Structure 1
């Protein structure tokens, strides 16, 4: 299941630039996913965009909401303390709360905190080495 989500995330993120044509492709790709899977994907995409616009020099190329621990869903809110994103070849832990529309197609709010770098010797245990 996680492997399928990652493949879907990479497909969606690869078409995420903000042109209207690509937004339509992104929405079409997202619409094919189950709502719970879509929820994680829209939150991952939103986090990637926010990180790219931060003052810090993050350049995320992969975001995995469930990398270190599974997130929980309560209504239209997804919360997790075990997400990870890769920037410049280093994986960083992050915690987040993401609220989305009921159809899980759009993020309404996203709060996150970037933690420490995930130690290299822990990457294999969390499947991060294959990404």
Structure 2
């Protein structure tokens, strides 16, 4: 019985913690979730918090929206499109393209991030393809 319980317990991660630049120390860690619904929820949540309103996410918007709203309300000054996140998303898209056997072309996906962080996305993409 004890062996079964030990097998069911989560194994702690042995991966080293990555350093976060001081400019991003008060932001959320990258969740790998930057869907349109998440970003809209984040915008609504941070707007409510900064305006001093009670937490009141829109109903029926889905799980991504709700997670974004909660994150935005908790961290109203966080930008879900930070440079670090765009870089990491670029890496993810680069790895996906490589696994799919596609040519290295970050411009194919660059429109998934705002122009302000597009260079970081492209850098992350290129690093992942080396």
Please classify the TM superposition score into its range, dividing by the shorter chain length: 0.3 to 0.5
Taking structure 1 as the reference length, the TM-score comes to 0.32
TM-score of the superposed pair, with normalisation by structure 2? 0.32
Greater fraction of residues in strand: 1
